[in-house]
A = this chain, B = another copy of it.
Amino acid sequence: MTSAVLLQPRSGSTLTERLARSAVATEGAGIATSDVPDWLAAERLACRTRVRQIPFADLDGWSFRAGSGNLRHRSGRFFTVEGLHVVRPDVGMEWQQPIIVQTEIGILGILAKEFDGTLHFLMQAKVEPGNPNLVQLSPTVQATRSNYTKAHGGTAVKYLEHFLDPPPGGVLTDVLQSEHGAWFYRKRNRNMIVEITGEVPADERFRWLTLGQLGRLLQQDNVVNMDSRTVLASAPLAYPEHGAIRSDADVASWFTGQRASHEVRAHRIPLAQVAGWCRDEHRIYRPDQRYFRVLAVAVEGANREVSSWSQPLIEPVAPGVVGFAYRTFAGVPHVLVHARVEGGFLDTVELAPTVQCVPANYTQASAAQRPPFLDLMLEAPPERVRYAATHSEEGGRFRNAESRYLVVATDEAATPTEAPPGYHWVTPGQLSWLAGHSRYVNVQARTLLAILQTRAAEIGQDS
């Protein structure tokens, strides 16, 4: 008794070819690439949003809970700021810090559609209070469960239905990805790209863009927001690589070994008990001015589900530096990834960029204490810098969390073929393969991967 069921191919080269075609299209069927910044500037003006720092006491609906001191909303939703105690017995380190706890899983979803035979992606001009320039390109849908179950008491999330119930064959990618393990406790979001074939009008504040257009826009500072970058990193692009320094199985084995060899014990503690941090009317901070502070803002006039609200944000003390060292081996580009422990990761380590740090945190550090390869990034001669732009992290939780993202060509002397312990050379194709599954590639490395996927950084056979 065989059922008359039409089978689908398990996967196909058609999709990867279509994505590759979109990646080389630096203009699309809609808005001209060069008009996007002006459009965003106009949106910035039109939204008339004002964000100002306020004392914690002026937060509406948020308060420090008696006893624990945890900062939470009276609804019990959105997120809380609590304490985290991290112990790393394997290296004899431990520390405590404030951390954002947000257990509900949000959707970061980009709608895709073919115009004139080329895949376009529906991007939104979205206000986020922590963005240094307020308005950036966000995914079509960027919604926490509180958003779409209306905890905000706001309006419905546009286009959400395409992601809650995607049509068979329409999903291009759908993967739970981690976010900043230094600031979030085990946060993950659903990164989705869903292709539609029917008519979908682009609402005001939405534009259809190709991958290549997004790549051009990623060459500019603070245009493409973090949520867009992580979704783009999850797109299943193919890479014409004829080999790699190590096979996929060896890369996976190295990663498994790294994960197995680190022991990280992280548990939540009351915010009031976090050692080394102080709280005053305006901020939770370290007296030595390192790392970050927690503060509160009031937002007015945003074009969002609700037009005014107040909330806590995390603000790093200084800009970060995030970069890949890259080399080509036998004509194939490779980037140097780092198996990095972050206290908020669900599972010990993920693959991070070669360098990921805030240099200001190391001004007092000895040369031995400085992050490896940092000076290679900071002192790279211009002809070796294949990519450099400033991007900010999620503006709904972080304020002015800017980092300089870099791709720097290096050589055998600076970055040997035999990578040091904890580091490994992988091809962009291998990184993209791993980013198709949860918890291999951290959010900063995914920004750099998005830069490679969209050809914002052209790396080739030049090293």
Binding site for B on A (CB under 8 A): 1-12, 103-105, 166, 168-169, 171-176, 190, 192, 236, 241-250, 252-253, 256-257, 259-260, 263, 265, 327-332, 346-347, 411-412, 417, 427, 429-430, 436-439, 461, 463
Which of B174, B236, B245, B327 lies in contact with A257, CB distance below 8 A?
B174
- Say whether A330 contacts B9, CB under 8 Å: no
Distance of A245 Cα from B8 Cα, bound (Å): 6
Selected A-B contacts with CB under 8 Å, 17 pairs: A2-B328, A7-B244, A7-B245, A8-B243, A9-B247, A10-B243, A10-B248, A10-B430, A103-B265, A105-B260, A166-B253, A168-B246, A172-B249, A174-B249, A176-B256, A190-B256, A346-B347
Number of copies: 2
| Residue ID in chain B nearest A247 by CB atoms | B8
Q: A176-B259, A259-B176 are in contact. Are A244 and B2 (CB under 8 A)?
A: no
Which of B2, B166, B463 lies in contact with A1, CB distance below 8 A?
B463
Which of B8, B172, B260 lies in contact with A190, CB distance below 8 A?
B260
- Say whether A330 contacts B10, CB under 8 Å: no
Which of B3, B176, B461, B463 lies in contact with A329, CB distance below 8 A?
B3
- Say whether A236 contacts B249, CB under 8 Å: yes
Distance of A166 Cα from B250 Cα, bound (Å): 9
Give 8 nearest A-B pairs by CB, closest first: A7-B243, A174-B253, A171-B253, A5-B329, A105-B260, A8-B247, A174-B256, A7-B330
Q: Which of A6, A250, A328, A463 has the most CB of B within 10 A?
A: A250
| Residue ID in chain B nearest A15 by CB atoms | B249
Report the minimum CB–CB distance from A319 to chain B (whole Å).
32
Q: A249-B172, A252-B175, A260-B176 are in contact. Are A7 and B242 (CB under 8 A)?
A: yes
Distance of A5 Cα from B416 Cα, bound (Å): 12
Q: A190-B256, A260-B105 are in contact. Are A461 and B9 (CB under 8 A)?
A: no
| Residue ID in chain B nearest A189 by CB atoms | B260
Taking A4-B330, A174-B249 as known contacts, 10 extra A-B pairs with beta carbons closer than 8 A to each other, sorted by chain A number, are A3-B330, A7-B329, A8-B243, A10-B430, A168-B246, A168-B250, A171-B253, A174-B256, A190-B256, A190-B260
B contact residues around A250 at 8 Å (CB): 8, 168-169, 171
B contact residues around A10 at 8 Å (CB): 241, 243-244, 247-248, 427, 429-430
Report the minimum CB–CB distance from A371 to chain B (whole Å).
25
Q: A171-B253, A256-B174 are in contact. Are A244 and B8 (CB under 8 A)?
A: yes
B contact residues around A172 at 8 Å (CB): 249
Report the minimum CB–CB distance from A208 to chain B (whole Å).
22
Which of B5, B247, B436 lies in contact with A417, CB distance below 8 A?
B5
